[in-house]
C-alpha cells in the first residue's frame, strides 16, 4: 500500500502553520488586485487585504489551471505517494472540475497510484473542518480509501451559514442572482446565506439587525449539529471582535468546547467582503435532506 498525502486549496482558509505541521499539500487559486497576483508565492495578510477592499480595491479571482493541477499532483506521484484532495465547492468555482479532470488523466498515466479528488461542497473553514478531521484520521492509521470515503459522506453534513454586510460582491462575482443580492444591501437588513448541499449559495432569510441575525444562525446551527459535536469554526472578514463575541456566546450559551476563528482568505474574501461571518459545524446525517 502506497503512502499518501492529503491536499486542499487555499479556499479552506486554514492557517499556514497547519500545513507545515501536518504535511498537508496546498494548491492556490489566485486573487488579482491592482495589477498584482496574490497566492502562496505572494501572500497578503487578512488585515491588509480587507483594508484594501474598504479603500475601494476591486479584486478578481481565477481558478487553478490544468497545468497547475497536473504539476501539483504529479509531484506527489513521482515521490511514490497517492493523493486525496479536498477541493473548493464546485458550485462556486470550476477548480474542482479541473482537478477531477487532471486526476482522471494521471490515474491512467500512473496505474500503480491514485489521485482522489473530492468536491467539498463547502468553503472557508467549513471546507477546512473536513481537512482537519481527515488529518486526524490519517494520524490514527486510516487508509486513503477510508479517509476519502469518510469525506464523501461528511461533506454533506457540514452546515455553513454566512452573514454578510454587503451582498453586491457575490452578485458581481456571479455567486448570487440580482434578485437575491439587492435586498441584502438594504440598510439594517442582514441576509442569511446557507451553503446548500449542491455547494451553491442560498439566501434562506433576511433579518433586521446584526444581533438578531446571529441569534437566528446559532439557533439553526444547534438544531442541525451532530450529537456530541463540540467544535465550531468561524471565518471572518476582518471583524475579529464580532467573531469573538459569537465565540463567547457559543461557549457560554451552547456549551461548545472548541471554537476556531480565522480570517477569510483572499478568494472567499473577494466575493464576500469585509464584515462577513461564516460559521460552520458538523451537522447530523439528515439535516441537509430536511433543509
The model's pLDDT over 175-223, given as tens digits with 9 standing for 90+, comes to 555 555 545 445 567 888 899 888 888 888 888 888 999 999 999 999 9
Note whether 200 and 112 are same-domain residues: no
Residue 290: pLDDT band with limits 50, 70, 90: low
Q: Does residue 44 sit within a domain?
A: no
25: DSSP letter:
E
User: By the 8 A CB rule, do 197 and 119 touch?
Assistant: no
Phi-psi region of 145 (alpha: psi -120 to 50; beta: other; left: phi over 0): alpha
Comparing 115-124, 163-172, 210-219, 225-234, the range with the smallest average pLDDT is: 163-172
Residue 169 has pLDDT above 90, yes or no: no
Give the domain-ending residue among 139, 154, 169: 154
Q: Does residue 13 sit within a domain?
A: yes
Mean pLDDT of 155-176: 74
Note whether 93 and 172 are same-domain residues: no
Mean pLDDT of 249-257: 97
Q: What is the pLDDT of residue 184?
A: 45
Q: What is the pLDDT of residue 172?
A: 56
Q: What is the pLDDT of residue 167?
A: 62
Mean pLDDT of the chain: 91
148: DSSP letter:
H
Residue 137 has pLDDT above 80, yes or no: yes
Residue 98 has pLDDT above 80, yes or no: yes
Q: What is the pLDDT of residue 191?
A: 80
Q: Does residue 230 sit within a domain?
A: yes
Note whether 88 and 197 are same-domain residues: no
Note whether 89 and 134 are same-domain residues: yes
Q: Which domain holds residue 189?
A: 158-290
Comparing 41-45, 164-168, 239-243, the range with the smallest average pLDDT is: 164-168
- The answer for residues whose C-beta is within 8 angstroms of residue 262's C-beta and 6 or more apart is 13, 14, 15, 125, 128, 233, 234, 235, 236
Mean pLDDT of 261-286: 93
Surface-to-core class of residue 151, CB atoms within 10 Å of its CB (0-12 exposed, 13-18 middle, 19+ buried): buried
Edge-to-edge strand ranges of the sheet holding 115-119: 25-27, 4-9, 82-87, 115-119
Comparing 21-25, 56-60, 153-157, 204-208, the range with the smallest average pLDDT is: 204-208
Note whether 132 and 10 are same-domain residues: yes
The total domain count for the chain is 2
Residue 256 has pLDDT above 90, yes or no: yes
Give the domain-ending residue among 127, 154, 181: 154
Between 183 and 25, residue with greater pLDDT: 25
Between 175 and 129, residue with greater pLDDT: 129
Note whether 25 and 143 are same-domain residues: yes
Residue 56 has pLDDT above 70, yes or no: yes
Between 256 and 202, residue with greater pLDDT: 256
CATH number at residue 85: 3.40.50.10440
Residue 260 grid coordinates: 476556531
Mean pLDDT of 213-241: 95
Q: Does residue 59 sit within a domain?
A: no
Strand segments (E) across the chain: 4-9, 25-27, 30-33, 36-38, 60-62, 82-87, 115-119, 158-163, 189-195, 201-208, 231-236, 258-263, 277-282
Q: What is the pLDDT of residue 253?
A: 96
User: By the 8 A CB rule, do 187 and 166 touch?
Assistant: no
Give the domain-ending residue among 154, 169, 191: 154
Amino acid at each position: 500500500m502506497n503512502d499518501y498525502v492529503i491536499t486542499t486549496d487555499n479556499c479552506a482558509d486554514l492557517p499556514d502553520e497547519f500545513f507545515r505541521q501536518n504535511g498537508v499539500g496546498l494548491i492556490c487559486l489566485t486573487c488579482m488586485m491592482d495589477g498584482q497576483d496574490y497566492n502562496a508565492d505572494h501572500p497578503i495578510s487578512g488585515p491588509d487585504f480587507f483594508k484594501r477592499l474598504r479603500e475601494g480595491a476591486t479584486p478578481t479571482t481565477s481558478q487553478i489551471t490544468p497545468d497547475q493541477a497536473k504539476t501539483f499532483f504529479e509531484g506527489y506521484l513521482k515521490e511514490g505517494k497517492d493523493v486525496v484532495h479536498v477541493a473548493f465547492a464546485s458550485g462556486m468555482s470550476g477548480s474542482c472540475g479541473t482537478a477531477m479532470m487532471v486526476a482522471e488523466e494521471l490515474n491512467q498515466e500512473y496505474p500503480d497510484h491514485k489521485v482522489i479528488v473530492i468536491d467539498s461542497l463547502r468553503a472557508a473553514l467549513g471546507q477546512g473542518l473536513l481537512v482537519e478531521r481527515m488529518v486526524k484520521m490519517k494520524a490514527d492509521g486510516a487508509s486513503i480509501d477510508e479517509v476519502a470515503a469518510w469525506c464523501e459522506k461528511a461533506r454533506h453534513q457540514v452546515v455553513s451559514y454566512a452573514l454578510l454586510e454587503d451582498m453586491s460582491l457575490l452578485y458581481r462575482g456571479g455567486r448570487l442572482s440580482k434578485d437575491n443580492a439587492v435586498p441584502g444591501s438594504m440598510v439594517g437588513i442582514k441576509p442569511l446565506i446557507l451553503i446548500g448541499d449542491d455547494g451553491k449559495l442560498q439566501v434562506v432569510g433576511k433579518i433586521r439587525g446584526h444581533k438578531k441575525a446571529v441569534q437566528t444562525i446559532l439557533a439553526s446551527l444547534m438544531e442541525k449539529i451532530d450529537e456530541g459535536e463540540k467544535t465550531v469554526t468561524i471565518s471572518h472578514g476582518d471583524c475579529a471582535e464580532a467573531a469573538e463575541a459569537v465565540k463567547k456566546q457559543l461557549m457560554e450559551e451552547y456549551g461548545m468546547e472548541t471554537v476556531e476563528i480565522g480570517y477569510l482568505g483572499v478568494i472567499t474574501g473577494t466575493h464576500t467582503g469585509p464584515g462577513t461571518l461564516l460559521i460552520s459545524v458538523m451537522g447530523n446525517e439528515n439535516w441537509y435532506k430536511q433543509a
